[in-house]
Structure 1
Amino acid sequence: MTAADVSASASSAKDGQLTIFVTVGTTRFDSLVRAVVSQRFLRALARTFPPAPGQNSKHWIKLVVQYGTSPISDVLTAMDAASVDAGSEIVPEPGLRIVNGRRVYQSGANIPGLDPGRTGTLPGMRIRTAANPMRQDDPRGTVDRMFDSIVQEAKAVAGTSSAATTASQQQNITVEAELDCGVELQLFAFSPDLKSYIESADVVISHAGSGTILDTLRVRPHPPALVVVPNTSLMDNHQVELAEALGNDGFLTVGSEDSLVKDVARAREATHAPFPDFDPARFTSLVDEVLLL
């Protein structure tokens, strides 16, 4: 998003809109991404945090999701709560294709080798570029580039090409959906600076990456409530250890994909301990101690 969009997000939060930022950094955390765009989570979120009296009840929750390297086709087809409206640039035709057991949306039916014949439906949604400006050297529209990205993923799954270009194709794409349950949803893959999103959020839901955790806990004067969901699929499970250690010290709330709405409620109600500011003198001392060992 541009600075203006982030500023608008902050303003909407001050006006009473609950802003939740979900981030997985530069990693792939499919289960968390699928959980936060699912109908179960979105509708439970709206029920748990209803609009305040007199508040605009159309979209009183703003959910911004940075989904990292999770496949955009999987992200889109997990959005079972979206609905088609007059502003949609993608409509549910030709529909969903199952490619080697994976759900992929295609822009046309005549893509060789990618349609085994089983079809489904994909909810329509708006795709805009306002939040992530298109590259000046790319004259094509956002929808075309979105489809390019999805088709490249499908070809990689089918073994007919490499998926190496997918991440760069997704850099300037933002998906927006306005859901009838009261949630305004934005999704993007990457951003050079996630701190602006963190600072404008009321709640941050994050993987247990140390950089994101520190960036959130060190927001001043009032850091957002932080829910950390460890990626238990990682080999060493170091994220579990880090999250539990900081959770036990009262700095954050440790959550899971299955209990996210309850975790957000706990985080908002809790009084978390203030996280200490970075102390360069202490850091230098620790380095000296290590070097002298």
Structure 2
Amino acid sequence: MNIFVTVGTTKFDSLIINVDNYAGKNKILNFTFQVSDSGEYSPRNGSFFSFANEINELYDSADLIITHAGAGSIYTLLEMNKKIIIVPNFERVDKHQSDIANYMAINKHALVCSDVADIGRFIEMTKGFQFVPFEKISFFKSEEISEFIMS
């Protein structure tokens, strides 16, 4: 199983450390980590990098993605119909990541791990969890809004 871990641009070393520790105990799994430029920890139990131009290719090749609760990452992954574990980054000053994570958990679009120390248990839970596919609702009001603004 290929597992991809992404933290975006913000430091989230506690997530990387906890997943790396789990990876060290589970050698049959293949881990790839996207770490932040500002992060101080380098994983020892998988490949890692800080930036990729074509991250969607990495998403495609992963069976499971562990991600911070950034809206852009989450919605991209949901539209790709990927299995995801969302881990809100409570190390950030703002706490907006918990709102989107709670929505995803309530609707069973993803598993949400609120304590990075539990990440191994959540990886195991994905084996039996029934993810509910996300249905994108397209927004078609842009023309109407443009016409209103121009009038």
- Give the TM-score normalised by structure 2: 0.85
- Who is 2:60 aligned against? 199
Aligned amino acid, residue 268 of structure 1: K
Instruction: Note the C-alpha offset of 1:278.
Output: 5.0
1:237-269: CA deviations, max 9, x gaps? Answer: 100111011111111000131111111122232
Q: Which runs of 5 or more structure 2 residues have no equivalent in the other structure?
A: none
- Who is 1:274 aligned against? 133
1:97-152: CA deviations, max 9, x gaps? Answer: xxxxxxxxxxxxxxxxxxxxxxxxxxxxxxxxxxxxxxxxxxxxxxxxxxxxxxxx
Residue 41 of structure 2 is aligned to residue 75 of structure 1: yes
Question: 1: CA distance between counterparts of 2:28 and 2:17?
Answer: 22
- Who is 2:19 aligned against? 36
Residue 1 of structure 2 is aligned to residue 22 of structure 1: no
Instruction: Note the C-alpha offset of 1:24.
Output: 0.7
Kept in 2: contact 1:228–1:252 (CA 8 A) = yes
Q: Secondary structure at the match of 1:64?
A: strand
Query: Higher Cα Rg: structure 1 or 2?
Result: 1
Question: 2: CA distance between counterparts of 1:215 and 1:268?
Answer: 22
> Deviation above 6 Å: which 4+ runs of structure 1?
none
Kept in 1: contact 2:4–2:59 (CA 8 A) = yes
- Who is 1:245 aligned against? 103
Count of matched residue positions in the alignment of Structure 1 and Structure 2: 146
Percent identical across equivalent pairs?
25
Instruction: Note the C-alpha offset of 1:194.
Output: 1.2
- Give the TM-score normalised by structure 1: 0.46
Residue 84 of structure 2 is aligned to residue 226 of structure 1: yes
Q: Which runs of 5 or more structure 1 residues have no equivalent in the other structure?
A: 1-17, 47-58, 80-176, 178-184
Kept in 2: contact 1:199–1:216 (CA 8 A) = no
Instruction: Note the C-alpha offset of 1:215.
Output: 1.1
Question: 2: CA distance between counterparts of 1:214 and 1:193?
Answer: 16
1:174-201: CA deviations, max 9, x gaps? Answer: xxx6xxxxxxx11111111211111111
Give 1:29-178 correspondences, 5 Å limit. Answer: 29-38=12-21, 41-44=22-25, 46=26, 60-71=28-39, 74-76=40-42, 79=44
Question: 2: CA distance between counterparts of 1:190 and 1:237?
Answer: 24
Question: 2: CA distance between counterparts of 1:28 and 1:240?
Answer: 17
